[in-house]
Amino acid sequence: MKKAILIPVFNEEVSIKVVIDSLLKLRDRYDIIVVDDGSYDKTPDILKDYDIVVLRHCINSGYGAAIQTGLRYLYDKGYEQAILFDGDGQHPVESIDVISLEQIKQKKDIVIGSRFLSGYEDVGTLKRIALKFFSLIIYIVTKVTIKDPTSGFKCLNRRAMRYYISDVTPLSFPDADAMILAIKSGLTIIEIPVRMNKRISGRSMHYGLRAVMYMMNMFFSLILCVLKSDDELKMEE
């Protein structure tokens, strides 16, 4: 089974070496694919030292576009499983095998590594409220409970990859809105408990005014997702 770990990065010069080094021991089971979303720090130079696939965006295009580039590559190359893994060191390497096996065992299209199933919730109050709100919207619309819809640690099979590279997926903020559309498109999702690490460096892509804009955009995107008809979303088998 062809499996890959997909790491979207943008200016991760401090953490990327640690993250890639920690992943190299899994190379017998997973290929490592990095999507450099137009980094202008030392990230591209660091990546050159590794014998791994690096897809480089010549212009910064955002997290969603970076994931899509990687998934397009993996889908075309016939990979059967893609594990989305952040380049900031937050995602636990030891959970990669767990999430991969769980996807095969449970036969689900998407497996999400959730912070909130392991009893470890090191997030701020505002973020927690926002996450609960998004979870509630997902539940109301789909009757599926997803406690950590913004988790970037996911395992996708080919059906899910195809969904992410389709025009249907809301790419600007592929979080709660993408989950709703995935479920409405007929994809199956489960969560497994994962204990996230502290970020090695940098800060979240949603900070300050960006966080406010993110909430507003996500809210608007959620409304659009809810209004999308099922016919628009049906995926061919």
Partner 1 sequence: MDMPLKQKIFAIVLAVILLGIVFELVRRRKLKIEYSWLWILTGLSIPFLVWRYDLLLFLTNISGAVSSTSTLFAFAFFFIILLNLHFSIVISDMQNRLKYLIQENAILRQTIVELTDKKTKY
Residues that bind partner 1 (CB under 8 A): 35, 53-59, 61, 65, 68-69, 72-73, 76, 171
Residue among 19 and 67 whose Cβ is closer to partner 1: 67
Residue among 56 and 195 whose Cβ is closer to partner 1: 56
Q: Closest distance between partner 1 and the C-beta of residue 38, in Å?
A: 8
Q: Closest distance between partner 1 and the C-beta of residue 52, in Å?
A: 11
Q: Closest distance between partner 1 and the C-beta of residue 39, in Å?
A: 13
Closest CA to 63 of 6, 13, 1: 6
Cα separation, 210 vs 230, in Å, equals 31
Residue among 28 and 167 whose Cβ is closer to partner 1: 167
- Tokens found for residue 141: 């619309």
Closest CA to 235 of 171, 160, 179, 131: 160
Q: Is 34 in contact with 51 (CB distance < 8 Å)?
A: no
| Contacts of residue 44, Cβ cutoff 8 Å, sequence gap at least 6 | 36, 54, 56
- Tokens found for residue 46: 């660091």
Q: Closest distance between partner 1 and the C-beta of residue 113, in Å?
A: 25
Residue among 8 and 149 whose Cβ is closer to partner 1: 8
